[in-house]
A and B are shown apart, each in its own frame.
Chain A
């Protein structure tokens, strides 16, 4: 080769040498990790199981040549448990590799009512279910990736920098216990100057203050131990009760789950109409007409797959179900066409449309007057009815009367005392005179007059007047649905006798007027009298109690009453009873508004915990535990920078412990993270949903075992932490004298199985309903499920005589009433016979803690407002903010915790901003354009997804995307970086920029009656991202 340099400063040979060394060298260095991995066969997965079938599983059951039937495949363990990929909590059959302990497949538990329409009877041997397993949805199948998530944390972590710095180090269980229990300067080693010198109280220090009032001037606030706060995300059934039991024993009332993020207003409204109940569902398979308000079969709702399946089945039958979805968004179940229709309503105006229907139904006399006239169950049944209402009961309407807004009592009417149900007064239809509701066969339905000098009206009259307060045309204008369409819907609804149902879910209630929206929707059911009828409404069959039976797992003898006082969320308590209120009144001040709202009618006001704790209203928090909780991600507006900064300040909440399976979007701001078990590694006893009509209780239990163990071999998790704390502090109900049985003897509580197995025994031995006795597990069933290990490991947790039946429950994944017991001819088997309420007296007697005005007891259109009553239409100008944001739960990605499920992320990798085609044209936006969603609270960028099936003026995003934690971003453990995964970051999440209430510091817009936080009333505009190519 020539060495001439030519125009180059080096020879050609030199140049080639440099290029060769530089190029190959750079490549080898840059790609070294991958090339070394490839060369050394690292990260190589597993070989194929079979030359033809590759990685396909071998079946769970094998052909038995001897019998011609099936026999278990010894390679696999089959265990039944309960899902938690969504709140449907379907039964799972989990196929586990017996050698490795790894899950190979998840499908449906055929004994569980959610997974099959004609589910297997408890007496069906396990082997006989081989050919007919149940189904679960894509989320259920994908649960394997929730459990085997590479970002799982398996040991306790402690922050090594400031809160939220993303720097962690693993610590021993013992160190965790020592620090959080004993307290002191436990953050001195974190290098965080803000918290290094803070003297943390610790569990011991706080527990010692059990006799000390939170505020001597306000004894109703309870003791200082109320400073222990539990903010639970998705925690239900017996797992929640396990936590509550600890809180009671500790002396704190502040143990919460997440319900007001979801739909508590729905539960509250249901509880007002159907006392003590939280959910009304249609008998879907036999109904002739259903209106789904704010939900659609096959998308979310309870149980998602079951409702979808029932609806499809019913709709496919000749003369079967017709249904209408009322929702701004057309989802999977919102089919248009054959016996299904979609009404795209304006967000948050369901109440107006329902009231319009009520008005038309009343004026056209298409309600069931006979049914509504019966004021008590006895009279109703005598007339062939299955339930009764308070429609004929009289309400005091004289505003000057001391009992204004209350039901007229026997005392008021001069009829003496009434006892028990039917204590109201009606105008007896037979005599035309006042009578006790419990004694009259029928009351006058529409009555306005005086009784004993008191102005009264019947509940029905109040409803009529409320409905008639607006013209149909006005209602139509409010809800954006043509009047003729409303009338047609009302006509159809009243054309199917008792087999028409109006049911609501989240879309109706996540508004400031959510309670009243839902109340109106539910009241439609009263007008047709559908409850308890085949094809009508049902309140379900309930479950088998796990709290009491052979064991009293909730009992805390000696600690009763230790936990008391107003909760931090100010729920289930009246502001007017508070010392604060009384002091203001005494001082001659206007006591209204309260600093933050009180929620006397609602419960589980999860979203108010953090801002209340930071503001110390009515008091602060010393120790906060987040369990599967991610308020920064899931609560509207709480992910804003100012608020996160406030929670990060240790002076506001000195100690935060998270229980999580990963470093999550909120747990990343904790001081400690303790590893939790996934849904496949934890316990819960959870009742089946109302939709199935029958009674049932599923048992979730650890079918695999992934996290590390404590020194004495227990699975690290929240329960074991609570047990260890309880034992250290000598709390009632922990240690050797842990759980009393029905004979008064005590059993130890040293590990969570001591408690959960006893709860399972309570289920197994609960009184049956017929056909639901639990068979003892056979030897084969024990072998297939490898259940003997439970008995071997926890032999002394139960009486030996109880094990066969308990294992019978475990082998079937719970206890379930047979499906053929759902109905008795044209009646449902499980019936609810308390008085149904057309008038919510409890609501009508309650005052709004912000305005001092009384809430309304009658359904009626209610305009959405801020806490201080400013209509939202006046809050954000329509011209500046022409769009309204709504969220929705898709069938594949509805939770904050499914971003690790790559198999379903592949199907829906990004949510995008869903824009109605008409709006896209109006704003010049094309499919795929990068756009900014701008709200009064901030802006986020995403990609436009232009679609039909969305009401113009509304933009939608599917929840579950746009993570910043849960493996989405980098963090460090012991100084080593854990790389975040972009797949988990994908998509847009608008919760942090949803509307805050301008009247209350860091409070989302809220429904002050029902307690729901508001997702669907944020106004927005779109701006094209001109920087993006």
Chain B
């Protein structure tokens, strides 16, 4: 029995792709293996760790809990789409680099997308709010200290220059 395929339009980082996928294909797998955007990582496949977080119309979403066939109508942003237009690191990426906010880098894309959305909602978080902003993502390397620092630094970098 051949599994039926569905044509899906996926708009990712401003580029429109057409893929034919089985109904059960996870968005995370479609991004990683059909579109070869392997920056989105899968750490648990049950929506807890947050490594696979992407932005769906700007809002953070666990791509392991979403089916590719249900993603047609949205604009998706992955870690590959977070750099500035001139190709330099975006503010959240730059902040992670400056603050040593990553070690193995596996959970990092999920933090970067989550924080990108978080700073849209709250552009100047306190340390406590920064901690809350990342409280749904697991990291096993950093102990979060430098990730919290990265959130605060990213807010600084994003702030309009006086």
A, B in one complex: no
Chain A contact residues, CB within 8 Å of chain B: none
Chain B contact residues, CB within 8 Å of chain A: none
